[in-house]
């Protein structure tokens, strides 16, 4: 079963905000919060910024089960320098959200 997510990423240095939609073959919201962040970063690396060859460090990742959202902060490492970021990832279809777990 494919699960689609929406990720809203904020650039802490400039205040810029971007929204991304990506999919995984399994529901990573039920997996560890880091696995979901890794799937998003893999999407950014291969689809959004394929020529950059990004790296990243996650400093904090929290999962709010009741709201079905993972929030992570860290540093995106690209050719033009390090970019502090915050990203919030949730299922794109709110009806897929599992509440109370």
> Do residues 75 and 85 make contact, with C-beta atoms less than 8 angstroms apart?
yes
Residue recorded with tokens 């990573």: 28
- Per-residue pLDDT tens digits for 71-85: 999 999 988 889 899
- Per-residue pLDDT tens digits for 11-48: 877 888 999 999 999 899 989 999 999 999 999 999 98
> Do residues 69 and 84 make contact, with C-beta atoms less than 8 angstroms apart?
no
What is the number of alpha carbons within 13 Å of residue 96 lying toward its C-beta? 16
Give the pLDDT score at 101. Answer: 39
pTM value is: 0.87
């Amino acid at each position: 079963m494919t699960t689609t997510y929406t990720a809203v990423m904020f650039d802490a240095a400039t205040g810029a905000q971007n929204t991304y939609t990506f999919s995984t073959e399994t529901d990573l919201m039920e997996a560890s919060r880091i696995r979901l962040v890794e799937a998003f970063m893999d999407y950014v690396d291969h689809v959004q910024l394929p020529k950059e060859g990004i790296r990243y460090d996650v400093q904090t990742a929290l999962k709010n089960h009741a709201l079905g959202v993972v929030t992570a902060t860290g540093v995106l490492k690209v050719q033009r320098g390090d970019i502090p970021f915050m990203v919030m990832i949730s299922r794109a279809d709110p009806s897929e959200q599992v509440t109370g777990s």
